[in-house]
Structure 1
Amino acid sequence: MLAETKPYTPPKSNMEYSWIEKIKPHAELIAALISGGLILIGWILSTISMETASAITFITAYIIGGYAKAKEGITETIQNKELNVEMLMIFAAIGSALIGYWTEGAILIFIFALSGALETYTMNKSHKEISSLLELQPEEALKITHDREEYVPVSTLRVGDIVLIKPGERVPIDGKIIEGQTNLDESAITGEALPVHKTIHDEAFAGTVNIRGSIMIEMTKPNSETLFQKIINLVQTAQSEKSPSQLFIERFEGKYVKTVLLIVGLMLFVPHFTLGWSWTETFYRAMILLVVASPCALVASITPATLSAISNGARKGILFKGGVHLENLANLKAIAFDKTGTLTQGKPEIVDVVVRGDLSEDELLLKAASIEKHSSHPLAAAIVGYAQNKGLNLRKPEQMEDVAGFGVQAMIDGIPWKVGKSEFVGRVEAEQFQNGMALHFAKEGKTVVFVKDDQGIAGLLTLKDTIRKSTLQAIRALQSEGIKTFMLTGDSKKTAQAIAEESGIDSFTAECLPETKVERVKYIKGEYGTVAMVGDGINDAPALATSSVGIAMGEGTDVALETADVVLMKNDLSKIAEAVKLSKKMNQIIKQNIVFSITIILILIASNFMQSLALPMGVIGHEGSTILVILNSLRLLKS
């Protein structure tokens, strides 16, 4: 007998944060909103001729709203040795103040601070899935030695160590079973809803759940190489990779800032010596150039349109986690779907009931459900639920016995009944029942459960994870947009083929592990370019992160929801096609805005060089173009 278990108590973390620490992640947003309030106060003060108070208020708005972006701009400029847009906005705001236009300068600061705060918030949210994943990995394990059992940190375990996993516990390591048998819920790894029977010499993976019997596992892989840890690493790696659009923006940013500052620098001196302008006129024109060349209208070309489209999508049950993901949907060429819980309901349902000639369908269901009611297997729950929905009053069986991995047997009215696999009731007899009907059902991807009494095979039940009502419509809508559809599933080839044919999917890959799905997504990206991945499980997280756009079902796991870029709140796959159309419309409006705003900026710059643009007209043209761009963007709020 083993010695008394020595409990392991991990160190407690301090969860009591001060109010300052609680609001710290939202500091940029709070600063931007305070800056906006001060701008309004400063403008009111200026209208009632309180110029000194107005100037002080505007300076305060500059400092509060611009501190974070100024710090970021200066830090990145020093580190990268290259000027950026943050610095240009600061220079433009200061230039506005120097020529007496405090309001315009403060508004520039406010818009840039607000966009920076929203960007920071989105980035913080996007990394939460890593902590969600880590919560599913046990911190301690019950290690077995020759003379005792002891709870130890999982991080201290080494290859060859033996761990005991009790019913209901999560497996902490990758290894092989050396004692006992059980059913493991491997949905965290494969996405398959049905538990898998495991016995001696079978593999068990970290992150899976032990449903029934106690088992001993010998550790075969270091903690850093477990399948579960690979999922975490894949998510981290995929998220660190920059998209082509991000790289383009970074390259464009440096050139834009350098060009504007170079021209403004030349404007401070060249016109005085070459065109005979006075120093006052030269400085005046240089400051106007700095104001009209600021990217206010360009920023407004994208942000309001994106927010309007996001709001539109939210009303339809489509949650976008950022504008870049919505923008990418317009370029979608292929989309990959997980099967279980995505294309299908994720729960097995009875499809067919076949009975022997001397029995009725209700009689067979009554016996089978009465016995299965005392089993914890998901298939049993589906059979019991089906019978109860038909109004059958279940009986209490006698001599109940659950044979792990095979089925259940019991006595009802003195007659022995068996419910389970063909091996459990007799393979030859089962396969010959009704001229081999079971083999036909198996080819259709259905799970066959046999029912046997004292006279032989009494009948069979088929169960299948049925496709969602919206699946067929969604696939057709996407294909009409010229988008190729793929299915990636951990299921067998037969089941995958049946679902693919039923749903109209163009292609499928069966028996996928998480890394297989990632490899397939990368391959599809290489073939088609922009690709989306739709999933709902932990095992889908790496593929969701690897894809150009990750889409999660609203009822999916926390990890899938956090990893995805888009969430379908009502689990309606037909909304994906709507999201693609919304993305195309948004991109069209953004292009209109950009062309318009750049045209206005060029006209204002040309007018300034010709000395025909006064500062008030420059401000009106600059701010007016911004307002028109925003109004055009608001059209996306309409359904």
Structure 2
Amino acid sequence: MASSANMAVNQKIEDHTGPLDKIKPHAELIAASMSGILIAAGWILEKTEMGTLSVALFLFAYFIGGFAKAKEGIEDTIENKELNVELLMILAAIGSAVIGYWTEGAILIFIFAMSGALETYTMNKSHKEISSLMELQPEEAVRIADGREERVHVSELAIGDFILVKPGERIPSDGKIAKGQTTIDEAAITGESMPSSKNPGENVFAGTVNLTGSMTVEITKPSSDTLFQKIILLVQSAQSEKSPSQLFIEKFEGTYVKAVLAVVVLMMFLPHFLLGWSWNETFYRAMILLVVASPCALVASIMPATLSAISNGARHGILFKGGVHLENLASLQAIAFDKTGTLTKGKPEVTDIVVREGLSAEEVLLKVASIESHSNHPLASAIVGHAKETLGQELVHPESIEDVPGWGVKAHYEKEDWKIGKAAFVGKENSEQFADGAAIKLASKGKTTVFAERNGELAAVIALKDVVREETKQAIDLLKSQGIHTVMLTGDSEKTAEAISAESHVNSYIAECLPETKVEHLKELREKFGTVAMVGDGINDAPALATANVGIAMGEGSDVALETADIVLMKNDLPKIAEAIDLSRRMNKIVKQNVVFSILIIMMLIASNFMQFLDLPFGVIGHEGSTILVILNSLRLLK
């Protein structure tokens, strides 16, 4: 059943499908329904004493309703060399017919076929989001070549081609905007409902929707290698990978089926000699045991729940690479976070500007930014960006500029000599005394300071900081409420680490952490807490992500993140970690409910059969009904 569902998902959805293609997903349901109609007709004929014709209809019901399950059971038995529940059901139906219970045997086949159809429906339902994604990528694109527009199939697009995407159209392949400004709905990639503004030079992804402006996009990847396609393949792969619980149930199934068959064989004889039952009653009770002891509900307890949870996560921008990672997430005791780019924005921002008395803050910022615009240092870029944003005027050009590696920069502008850089570059004693020790106070808050000297006198100190993300505090507080210990790993100094950890609300921090030592710290955390997750950017944190029990990458639309972690957040939205843990715990709770419920039903039905309370029709209804209830319970995870 699961394999047929996967095949349906893997097929590319065509624009023109034939009638058979439309009927195929519903084949099991149609067969089960036809079987039910034939059973009803056979039962009516049996009551009117047309026995031969009724038996013929029951035989047709057996064949139509049971063919798919019998074929599946036989093929699986041959392939895996293990008996399975499908064979138990077929044997029970044949046994019922042998002792003259044609109606009961046919009803067993009918309900078993219906539960199989429902399970297939569940699999297809869990794949619905992925099937919908496959439909989102356009088949054609408008390519611009030699000033002309031509409509081509997306498979013909090559890296470096330019395409035109108009408002309301979906982007056919990954690329970057060459011309135009627009707003794009990226929900198909990130799960984020709010549109994202895009400017020339920014990346856009296949399957997303251009909402407002017309734009020209330069293709950066072939259509077969887009982030969109990788997401589809990743989720399909995750849905085919089985969790440890599912693997245990499947291994247990073969042993259990053998045990049931052995007990059934004994029950065909022993009650007659030990309890004085008639041969007919003995065989009848053996057939009921064959039905009610089959672990159908137990087998269906895990896979539908896992698939539903994986699909739910994919719909909300949380990609699980398999059921094993989803299951492990529920048992997390601690999470380690990389600081830069995870808890923080990953880019320094200007937080404070302190100028000498008598000088204009705007004028000093303008000149400092104008000089720093000639440097590619991250701190210089942050100062330039801040000046452009706050001043709203063009930068000026210094008459001369000299870079002093490791210290800062010198410049001359309108009879003024400027020096911009670290404290030692402008005089450490002067920098510490400037503005009543402003620099020392700023450094104690974990901020980096840049000093500006004009004509031999300190003019200003500018403080910068890698700012904590707005959602970080909320995310950490949510994890704490779930009973999870949070740790920050950073290469920053003790003071900076202390300030950032206090601001982000993490329980503890490890400062001056080298990339290679993160792995050692994670091993220590695993020894202390047990199951530990690592959250990083998915590239330079790859060794740490691999060391943790669960590696979580901050995706932000990065296909590199898809390769490195067990779970990917398609948008850098930290609160989604708590959502993923909650989803995992819900899944484990539902799986436990299913397992306990199915075992209790089997035990109750077996006991009722031994006490001769249970008739075959009620055994069939109780057994197959429990399977249907288990599957429906798993479907709740799609919400």
TM-score, with structure 1 as normaliser:
0.65
Residues 536 and 555 of structure 1 are in contact (CA less than 8 Å); yes or no, is this contact kept in structure 2?
A: no
Residues 93 and 108 of structure 1 are in contact (CA less than 8 Å); yes or no, is this contact kept in structure 2?
A: no
Residues 489 and 496 of structure 1 are in contact (CA less than 8 Å); yes or no, is this contact kept in structure 2?
A: yes
Q: How does 1:101-112 map to 2 (within 5 A)?
A: 101-106=108-113
Residues 335 and 485 of structure 1 are in contact (CA less than 8 Å); yes or no, is this contact kept in structure 2?
A: yes
Deviation at 1:486, TM superposition (A): 0.9
Q: State the partner residue of 1:357.
A: 357
Deviation at 1:443, TM superposition (A): 3.4
Which amino acid letter does the alignment assign opposite residue 31 of structure 2? Answer: G
Q: Which moved more, 1:614-623 or 1:419-428?
A: 419-428
Q: State the partner residue of 2:466.
A: 465
Question: Can you list the C-alpha shifts for 1:83-118, whole angstroms capped at 9, x where unaligned?
Answer: 5xxx32343344255355444555676688899999
Deviation at 1:538, TM superposition (A): 1.5
Q: State the partner residue of 1:73.
A: 80
Q: State the partner residue of 2:348.
A: 348
Question: Structure 2 vs 1, CA of residues 502 and 323 (structure 1 numbering), >3 Å: closer, same or farther?
Answer: same
Which amino acid letter does the alignment assign opposite residue 468 of structure 2? Answer: I
Question: Can you list the C-alpha shifts for 1:328-380, whole angstroms capped at 9, x where unaligned?
Answer: 44433222211111111111111111222242221121112112223222222
Residues 490 and 512 of structure 2 are in contact (CA less than 8 Å); yes or no, is this contact kept in structure 1?
A: yes
Residues 122 and 304 of structure 2 are in contact (CA less than 8 Å); yes or no, is this contact kept in structure 1?
A: no
Which amino acid letter does the alignment assign opposite residue 292 of structure 1? Answer: V
Residues 66 and 109 of structure 1 are in contact (CA less than 8 Å); yes or no, is this contact kept in structure 2?
A: no
Residues 308 and 633 of structure 1 are in contact (CA less than 8 Å); yes or no, is this contact kept in structure 2?
A: yes
Answering whether residue 376 of structure 2 is matched by residue 387 of structure 1, we say no
Question: Can you list the C-alpha shifts for 1:383-433, whole angstroms capped at 9, x where unaligned?
Answer: 111111111321123334444444333332243333333344444544443
3-state secondary structure, aligned to 1:291: helix
**Share of identical aligned residues, percent?**
60
Q: How does 1:282-301 map to 2 (within 5 A)?
A: 282=282, 284-301=284-301
Question: Structure 2 vs 1, CA of residues 630 and 454 (structure 1 numbering), >3 Å: closer, same or farther?
Answer: same
3-state secondary structure, aligned to 1:538: coil
Answering whether residue 91 of structure 2 is matched by residue 91 of structure 1, we say no
Residues 5 and 124 of structure 2 are in contact (CA less than 8 Å); yes or no, is this contact kept in structure 1?
A: no
Answering whether residue 329 of structure 2 is matched by residue 333 of structure 1, we say no
Which amino acid letter does the alignment assign opposite residue 379 of structure 1? Answer: L
Q: State the partner residue of 1:417.
A: 418
Answering whether residue 454 of structure 2 is matched by residue 453 of structure 1, we say yes
Deviation at 1:587, TM superposition (A): 3.6
Question: Structure 2 vs 1, CA of residues 541 and 461 (structure 1 numbering), >3 Å: closer, same or farther?
Answer: same
Which amino acid letter does the alignment assign opposite residue 28 of structure 2? Answer: I
Cα distance in 1 for residues equivalent to 2:347 and 2:320? 27
Aligned to 2:31, which of 38, 42, 45? 42
Cα distance in 2 for residues equivalent to 1:26 and 1:591? 25
Which amino acid letter does the alignment assign opposite residue 296 of structure 1? Answer: C
Cα distance in 2 for residues equivalent to 1:477 and 1:508? 18
Q: State the partner residue of 2:537.
A: 536
Q: State the partner residue of 1:367.
A: 367
Which amino acid letter does the alignment assign opposite residue 470 of structure 1? Answer: E
Answering whether residue 529 of structure 2 is matched by residue 522 of structure 1, we say no
Cα distance in 2 for residues equivalent to 1:258 and 1:522? 43
Residues 541 and 560 of structure 1 are in contact (CA less than 8 Å); yes or no, is this contact kept in structure 2?
A: no
3-state secondary structure, aligned to 2:540: helix
Deviation at 1:604, TM superposition (A): 1.5
3-state secondary structure, aligned to 1:346: strand
Question: Can you list the C-alpha shifts for 1:172-196, whole angstroms capped at 9, x where unaligned?
Answer: xxxxxxxxxxxxxxxxxxxxxxxxx
Which amino acid letter does the alignment assign opposite residue 80 of structure 2? Answer: G
Supply the RMSD in Å over aligned alpha carbons. 4.2
Q: Tell me, which stretches of 5 or more residues in structure 1 are unaligned?
A: 1-22, 75-82, 121-241
3-state secondary structure, aligned to 1:385: helix
Residues 555 and 561 of structure 2 are in contact (CA less than 8 Å); yes or no, is this contact kept in structure 1?
A: no
3-state secondary structure, aligned to 1:345: strand
Cα distance in 2 for residues equivalent to 1:583 and 1:70? 32
3-state secondary structure, aligned to 2:541: helix
Q: How does 1:214-225 map to 2 (within 5 A)?
A: none
Cα distance in 1 for residues equivalent to 2:359 and 2:490? 38
3-state secondary structure, aligned to 1:441: helix
3-state secondary structure, aligned to 1:539: coil
Residues 402 and 409 of structure 1 are in contact (CA less than 8 Å); yes or no, is this contact kept in structure 2?
A: yes
Residues 407 and 420 of structure 1 are in contact (CA less than 8 Å); yes or no, is this contact kept in structure 2?
A: yes
Cα distance in 1 for residues equivalent to 2:393 and 2:557? 33
Cα distance in 1 for residues equivalent to 2:368 and 2:514? 34
Cα distance in 2 for residues equivalent to 1:407 and 1:34? 72
Cα distance in 1 for residues equivalent to 2:75 and 2:565? 28
3-state secondary structure, aligned to 2:28: helix
Residues 320 and 568 of structure 2 are in contact (CA less than 8 Å); yes or no, is this contact kept in structure 1?
A: yes
Residues 29 and 114 of structure 2 are in contact (CA less than 8 Å); yes or no, is this contact kept in structure 1?
A: no
Deviation at 1:628, TM superposition (A): 2.9
Answering whether residue 593 of structure 2 is matched by residue 592 of structure 1, we say yes
Question: Structure 2 vs 1, CA of residues 506 and 280 (structure 1 numbering), >3 Å: closer, same or farther?
Answer: same
Residues 533 and 543 of structure 1 are in contact (CA less than 8 Å); yes or no, is this contact kept in structure 2?
A: yes
Cα distance in 1 for residues equivalent to 2:243 and 2:509? 26
Q: How does 1:234-253 map to 2 (within 5 A)?
A: none
Deviation at 1:510, TM superposition (A): 2.3
Aligned to 2:68, which of 33, 57, 61? 61
Answering whether residue 616 of structure 2 is matched by residue 615 of structure 1, we say yes
Deviation at 1:464, TM superposition (A): 0.8
Question: Can you list the C-alpha shifts for 1:109-156, whole angstroms capped at 9, x where unaligned?
Answer: 668889999999xxxxxxxxxxxxxxxxxxxxxxxxxxxxxxxxxxxx
Which amino acid letter does the alignment assign opposite residue 525 of structure 2? Answer: I
Question: Structure 2 vs 1, CA of residues 70 and 381 (structure 1 numbering), >3 Å: closer, same or farther?
Answer: farther
Residues 118 and 628 of structure 2 are in contact (CA less than 8 Å); yes or no, is this contact kept in structure 1?
A: no
3-state secondary structure, aligned to 2:626: helix
